[in-house]
Amino acid sequence: MRTLEELDLVPAWVNPDHLVATAIHVMQGHKINAVAVVGFTGLDGMVSLERAELMPKFAKVGTIVQPVLLTLDVETTVRNAAKQFIEHDVNFAAVYRDGEFRGLLTANMLLREIGQSWDPLTSLPWSNRLRDWGMAELEQGSEITLLFVDIDDFGNYNKRHGHIVGDRILKRFATRLREFVDRYNDILVRYGGDEFVIGTKLDRYEAEKRFGEISDIEINVDDVPEPVTVSVGYAGGMRAKTREHAHIASMLDNLINLASQDCTRKKQEKLEHGRLSDEPDFSSPPSSEPTELPNLQASEPEPTRTEPDEPTDPSEPPDLRASEPAPAAPTFDVRLVSLDEDDPSGPVAVTLRIDGTDGTAAVMPDGRTLMLTVAVATARAIERVRDGVKIAINTTVLDSAPDGSKTVTIVGSCELEGRRHAMAGTAAVNRDVHRAVAEAVASAFVSLGI
């Protein structure tokens, strides 16, 4: 059974001085129905979207905070978390890792997770999870690559050494594969028998670069004199704009078949070079033509995450406090926002200073609104100041109060060293709404304290 660490928790939060409108934008931007409220001393509570939408939009979040009665550690299993939800009669729980807030867990998230089918031996999802993931990515127009991974001569290992040894091989191999997977961008499933599939948002060229070491995996098991090896097949692609849902399903099936055929071909090459035994059990014929490799530039591989091998179930929720993201230790100063409001297709440039270091970036609108373009330019300027940071802007909103005052809210996320941090910021509009946008982005970033 998976742990809470492996769920798609969104580490989003607002502070008590944020506006209710900001909390609503954060929840809508991250597609969540509740958000944590984090103050100077830790977690103050939470606000649900249902409650926030009934309140005055320019009231302070601190006036509508609801308590969070259950706290869990990320290594709690989904099953144990569900048990604690029932025992405490709650619908929400705050999840922490080493004292850092990782997000709110909801009862609906647990129900969806428990409703999925899982392989009890490897604790990996079965192929239906791959289909859900692949269909969703292809429908969004994303390019995906599938890796079909098959243990070499596994049938012979079962015959020679028994199924108990075979099960140990499968468990150890699943653990090794997890080390390659970034749960934000990839999915790993047990496809059946000795077959596993990794789906990734990388194109095929980048996928072969990042996952290439999987082909070198050798698993050593007691009572088995020779190491266990694997073969890996690849297939990648993306849908045409005119494809309908049924065609996307067919395309996903085709990618799975191509990856399987590529894997079989590589097994055959090993056999021809004497690297496998003379009793292979192939389930499908080798492809006569290998899948073409796209002529794409390779990017640096994305950071990978290693999940715990054998997570434990804490009997009681840990007594943890949230880190203090709201107090902004770093300082910032938006020095320049340059744009031509009469030419919405022209470049937008932002210069700012964070902790004494200047950063400047210019971007083209490319169909974005001026507010969103300023937010993106500010994000790029911050990335120039902070090496390794990658910021995505999801939403920019301008709210007007009954007294005529205006506030800008931005919602986005920041990635650093493989960790994703939800971010949200607000700024009052004095004279220049676009400068307020830049200030909101900078404020959101420095509040993370990274």
The answer to whether residues 137 and 259 belong to one domain is yes
Residue 289 resides in a domain: no
pLDDT band at 310 (very low <50, low <70, confident <90, very high): very low
The answer to whether residues 3 and 92 belong to one domain is yes
Q: What is the CATH number of the domain that holds 239?
A: 3.30.70.270
Least Cα distance to 377 among 443, 438, 444, 420 occurs for 438
| 248-259 confidence digits (pLDDT tens) | 888 888 899 999
Residue 354 resides in a domain: yes
Do residues 393 and 400 lie in contact, with contact meaning Cβ atoms separated by under 8 Å? no
Print the domain residue range for 378: 330-450
DSSP letter (8 states) at residue 62: G
Chain-centre distance of CA 168, in angstroms?
A: 29
**406 pLDDT above the threshold of 60:** yes
The answer to whether residues 34 and 157 belong to one domain is no
| 409-424 confidence digits (pLDDT tens) | 898 888 887 777 888 8
The answer to whether residues 16 and 97 belong to one domain is yes
What's the CA gap between 251 and 178, in Å, rounded?
Answer: 26
pLDDT band at 274 (very low <50, low <70, confident <90, very high): low
Residue 267 resides in a domain: yes
Residue 388 resides in a domain: yes
Q: What is the CATH number of the domain that holds 423?
A: 3.30.160.270
What's the CA gap between 269 and 191, in Å, rounded?
Answer: 23
Q: What is the mean pLDDT of the chain?
A: 81
User: Of 69, 88, 115, which one is at a domain's C-terminal end?
Assistant: 115
Residue 262 resides in a domain: yes
Residue 323 resides in a domain: no
**77 pLDDT above the threshold of 50:** yes
Quote the number of domains for the chain: 3
**Burial class of residue 166 in the structure, from the number of CB atoms within 10 Å of its CB (0-12 exposed, 13-18 middle, 19+ buried):** buried
Least Cα distance to 218 among 226, 208, 206, 227 occurs for 227
Do residues 280 and 271 lie in contact, with contact meaning Cβ atoms separated by under 8 Å? yes
**447 pLDDT above the threshold of 50:** yes
**4 pLDDT above the threshold of 70:** yes
The answer to whether residues 94 and 153 belong to one domain is no
The answer to whether residues 102 and 61 belong to one domain is yes
**184 pLDDT above the threshold of 80:** no
Residues in the chain: 450
The answer to whether residues 127 and 239 belong to one domain is yes
Instruction: Kindly report which listed range (86-90, 201-205, 318-322) carries the lowest average pLDDT score.
Output: 318-322
What's the CA gap between 214 and 434, in Å, rounded?
Answer: 48
User: Of 115, 145, 170, which one is at a domain's C-terminal end?
Assistant: 115
Least Cα distance to 350 among 319, 391, 388 occurs for 391
Q: What is the CATH number of the domain that holds 58?
A: 3.10.580.10
Residue 103: left if φ>0, alpha if ψ -120 to 50, beta else—which one? Answer: left
Q: What ranges in 53-180 are assigned the alpha helix state H?
A: 78-88, 107-115, 127-139, 154-161, 163-178
- What residue type is 184 in one-letter code? Y
448 vs 433: which has the higher pLDDT: 433
The answer to whether residues 238 and 371 belong to one domain is no
DSSP letter (8 states) at residue 316: S
**266 pLDDT above the threshold of 50:** yes
If one counts every other C-beta atom within 10 angstroms of the C-beta of residue 160, the result is 13
Residue 38 resides in a domain: yes
Residue 89 resides in a domain: yes
User: Of 52, 80, 115, which one is at a domain's C-terminal end?
Assistant: 115
**321 pLDDT above the threshold of 80:** no
pLDDT, mean of residues 168-197? 90
The answer to whether residues 242 and 232 belong to one domain is yes
Rg (CA), the chain: 25
The answer to whether residues 108 and 121 belong to one domain is no
**308 pLDDT above the threshold of 80:** no
Lookup: tokens for 292: 């073409």
- What residue type is 278 in one-letter code? D
pLDDT, mean of residues 364-382? 92
What's the CA gap between 132 and 189, in Å, rounded?
Answer: 12
Least Cα distance to 336 among 300, 285, 392, 377 occurs for 377
If one counts every other C-beta atom within 10 angstroms of the C-beta of residue 404, the result is 6
**73 pLDDT above the threshold of 80:** yes
List, edge to edge, every strand of the sheet that includes 348-354. Answer: 332-338, 348-354, 357-363
DSSP letter (8 states) at residue 60: B
pTM: 0.52
The answer to whether residues 100 and 176 belong to one domain is no
Lookup: tokens for 6: 């492996």
Q: Where are the beta strands (DSSP E) in 345-440?
A: 348-354, 357-363, 390-400, 406-416, 419-428
What's the CA gap between 363 and 441, in Å, rounded?
Answer: 15
The answer to whether residues 2 and 47 belong to one domain is yes
Least Cα distance to 144 among 134, 152, 153 occurs for 134
